[in-house]
Structure 1
Amino acid sequence: MILVVGATGMVGGEICRLLAIDGQPVHALVRKSSDAHKVQHLHDIGIPTVEGDVREKSSLAQAMEYVTEVIATVSAMPFSYIAGENDIDAVDCHGMINLIDAAKEAHARKFIYTSFSGHLDIECPLRNAKRTVEKYLQESGLHYTILRPSCFMEVWLSPAVGFDTEHGQAQIYGSGENPISYISYKDVARFAVESLHNPAATDKILELGGPQALSQLEAVKIFESALGRKMKITHVTKQTLEHQRDEASDPMQESFSSLMLCVANGDPIDMTPIRNDFPFHLTSVKEYAQHMPH
């Protein structure tokens, strides 16, 4: 039995969809407070749910019954963040540690954890939580796969961060000239599912990117070609981002500003070696751009 934790999120939901198509035995951990429409969608695609909360270790024991593999994508960042209640420390750090402990106590065989790229490594609360959990998982005695995806194109090339194709505006972090291996969240989900049974993923850290590394400015040109019109570019300097990080009022804002700095610095990932072991099609920025609103 596979337990997906983070199933109402973007990556976790896609993982559930893929597992349902494959007909694999799976259920999803949800909270009492989880979005009812998202929970219903899981039921609609044939995914049973079980209640539990990574913040409360005692709530995980029943959810772990008969579980052999855990796939964890849950995070408090950015949409469910509540300071002091549902935050980086409670969910991304201690919540994940609770989940690893529960998996170990249930004698699960494998734990697949979604972190983020090793190059996105400016110190901040989210980065520190991710690296702490990675180390804890590696030392847990469980077989593991740690997925370290680069920037999700659906996030970092979207209106949420100022990349607004509908209104023809692109906010660029730093010079915009450093290459980034933008990856689709759907491909990250595919890597997670493939890692269940692919021996190349056992006890490994997988640095994940898309099929090519592109600068932010190169990505703009791809979107301009797909849209058939120019986009207005504005730059946010690294100095501005550093000031935002230093003046941040909470761990989420500090982490988000730090991630923007990481984007400014770039994150190229050579996918040639890993594609020999995972030979499926990777979504390109060009393919993503062609499906954006014009």
Structure 2
Amino acid sequence: MSPQQHPILVTGGTGRQGGATARRLLSDSVPVRALVRDPAAPAARALADAGAELVTADFDTPSTLDAATAGVRGVFLIPPAVFGPSGWNRDMEAERGLAVLDAAKRANVEQIVFTGVASLGADSTWGQDGKRVIEDAVAASGLRYTLLRPVRFMENYLLRTSPVDGISNGVHKHIFPADQPLQMVALADIAAFAALAFADPDRLHGRTIELAGDAVLPSKAVALISAAIGHQVSYHELDESEADAIGEQIGNTWRLVRETGGWHADLAQLRHIYPELTTFESWLATTGVAKIKALLEGEPVGSPH
């Protein structure tokens, strides 16, 4: 078996980034082994139906990870993050990522693509701290590696249970300034960059990539959504007290965004690497509008145009 015929292990395969990456690799005819906890879960079965090999393992039981990494040539690493009332559990997230990395080294895996979170300054309250521990370990591992740092997902407009984001009763509320361009990225583009890294391990080796696809004013984004779905959606920018009332993490991030100016991914450089980068309008046209309409069906989303 040639090296290219060995599978890529995708962790978080039933999640948003892992699922998108597994599907992209499979569409590129790259063998995929998906790490799952429950192979009977609908999301896991969908991956298997798409052609992925399923392997049962648990981040919190490191002994189960050796079978998952055996015989693979690369690992797409996204350990489950833990967020509770006191904020991010840095130590648990880091331990999970390091456990997979250790198993990969024992299995002589050639390459790691790790996806974390985009930078908002050096403030660890944004949830960067545990991810940076993993990044440092990956960079020091001696393996070929690429570190992806995506900004906010375009798919967050589809959220239904988050205290911010999504659309409810015709309102999209968030902490971001209405008059400041907001960088965002489609999940498909995270998958595309991971696929590029696995297809040519030397090209993006050693790179840390702040990953976005577009920058749109939140107020303009809801105007585009309104025009596309035929109902008025408005943007509500939370003030500081509203953000603090939701939780310490939300309040801290509200302040951090205003202190740093938000994310600063280099869109021109990203388009040089991947010219097909998804704009917000193209995301709406290809998948976003249909999904937003489906979610809002039967809900009062605002006045029709």
Whether the 8 Å CA contact 1:2–1:27 is kept in 2: the answer is: yes
Whole-angstrom CA distance in 2 between matches of 1:219 and 1:38: 30
Whether the 8 Å CA contact 1:29–1:63 is kept in 2: the answer is: yes
Whether the 8 Å CA contact 1:27–1:50 is kept in 2: the answer is: yes
**Is structure 2 residue 125 aligned with structure 1 residue 124?**
yes
Q: Which residue of 1 aligns with 2:49?
A: 44
User: Displacement, 1:69?
Assistant: 0.4
Using the TM superposition, name which of 172-181 and 196-205 deviates more. Answer: 172-181
Cα shift readout 1:122-154 (whole Å, capped 9, x = no counterpart): 322732111111111111211110001110011
Task: Please state whether the residue corresponding to 2:35 is helix, strand or coil.
Answer: strand
Q: Which residue of 2 aligns with 1:55?
A: 60
Q: For 1:222, which of 221, 224, 228 is the aligned residue? A: 224
Q: Percent identity?
A: 25
Cα 1:209–1:89 change in 2 (3 A) is same
Q: Which residue of 2 aligns with 1:29?
A: 35
Normalised TM-score (structure 1): 0.83
The one-letter code sitting in structure 2 at the alignment partner of 1:271 is L
Q: Which residue of 2 aligns with 1:167?
A: 169
**Is structure 2 residue 150 aligned with structure 1 residue 149?**
yes
Whether the 8 Å CA contact 1:121–1:262 is kept in 2: the answer is: no
Whole-angstrom CA distance in 2 between matches of 1:176 and 1:35: 43
**Is structure 2 residue 130 aligned with structure 1 residue 99?**
no
Whole-angstrom CA distance in 1 between matches of 2:187 and 2:255: 21
Whole-angstrom CA distance in 2 between matches of 1:157 and 1:259: 21
Task: Please state whether the residue corresponding to 1:62 is helix, strand or coil.
Answer: helix
User: Displacement, 1:245?
Assistant: 4.4
User: Displacement, 1:97?
Assistant: 0.7
User: Displacement, 1:243?
Assistant: 5.9
The one-letter code sitting in structure 1 at the alignment partner of 2:147 is I
Whole-angstrom CA distance in 2 between matches of 1:274 and 1:233: 28
The one-letter code sitting in structure 2 at the alignment partner of 1:128 is D
Whole-angstrom CA distance in 2 between matches of 1:266 and 1:221: 21
User: Displacement, 1:269?
Assistant: 2.3
Whether the 8 Å CA contact 1:69–1:111 is kept in 2: the answer is: yes
Task: Please state whether the residue corresponding to 1:27 is helix, strand or coil.
Answer: strand
Whole-angstrom CA distance in 2 between matches of 1:131 and 1:156: 27
The one-letter code sitting in structure 2 at the alignment partner of 1:24 is V
Cα 1:120–1:27 change in 2 (3 A) is farther
Normalised TM-score (structure 2): 0.80
User: Displacement, 1:193?
Assistant: 1.2
**Is structure 2 residue 140 aligned with structure 1 residue 136?**
no
Whether the 8 Å CA contact 2:154–2:280 is kept in 1: the answer is: no
Whether the 8 Å CA contact 1:120–1:259 is kept in 2: the answer is: no
The one-letter code sitting in structure 1 at the alignment partner of 2:136 is K
Q: For 1:8, which of 14, 26, 29 is the aligned residue? A: 14
RMSD after superposition? 2.8
Cα shift readout 1:25-80 (whole Å, capped 9, x = no counterpart): 22111124x661122111111111112112222111121111210001232356xx
Task: Please state whether the residue corresponding to 1:167 is helix, strand or coil.
Answer: coil
Using the TM superposition, name which of 223-232 and 61-70 deviates more. Answer: 223-232
Whether the 8 Å CA contact 1:241–1:261 is kept in 2: the answer is: no
Q: Which residue of 1 aligns with 2:192?
A: 190
Q: Which residue of 2 aligns with 1:250?
A: none
Whole-angstrom CA distance in 1 between matches of 2:81 and 2:244: 23
Whole-angstrom CA distance in 2 between matches of 1:175 and 1:16: 34
Q: Structure 1: which 5+ residue stretches go unaligned?
A: 247-253
User: Displacement, 1:87?
Assistant: 5.8
Q: Which residue of 2 aligns with 1:272?
A: 268
Cα 1:4–1:204 change in 2 (3 A) is same
Task: Please state whether the residue corresponding to 1:201 is helix, strand or coil.
Answer: coil
Whether the 8 Å CA contact 1:2–1:26 is kept in 2: the answer is: yes
User: Displacement, 1:205?
Assistant: 0.5
Q: Which residue of 2 aligns with 1:234?
A: 236
Whether the 8 Å CA contact 1:68–1:109 is kept in 2: the answer is: yes
Q: Structure 2: which 5+ residue stretches go unaligned?
A: 1-6, 297-305
Cα shift readout 1:160-199 (whole Å, capped 9, x = no counterpart): 4444546311213253222221111111111111111233
Whether the 8 Å CA contact 1:179–1:268 is kept in 2: the answer is: no
| Aligned residues between the structures | 279
Q: For 1:67, which of 67, 72, 78 is the aligned residue? A: 72
**Is structure 2 residue 289 aligned with structure 1 residue 290?**
yes
Whole-angstrom CA distance in 2 between matches of 1:271 and 1:59: 39
Whole-angstrom CA distance in 1 between matches of 2:221 and 2:69: 43
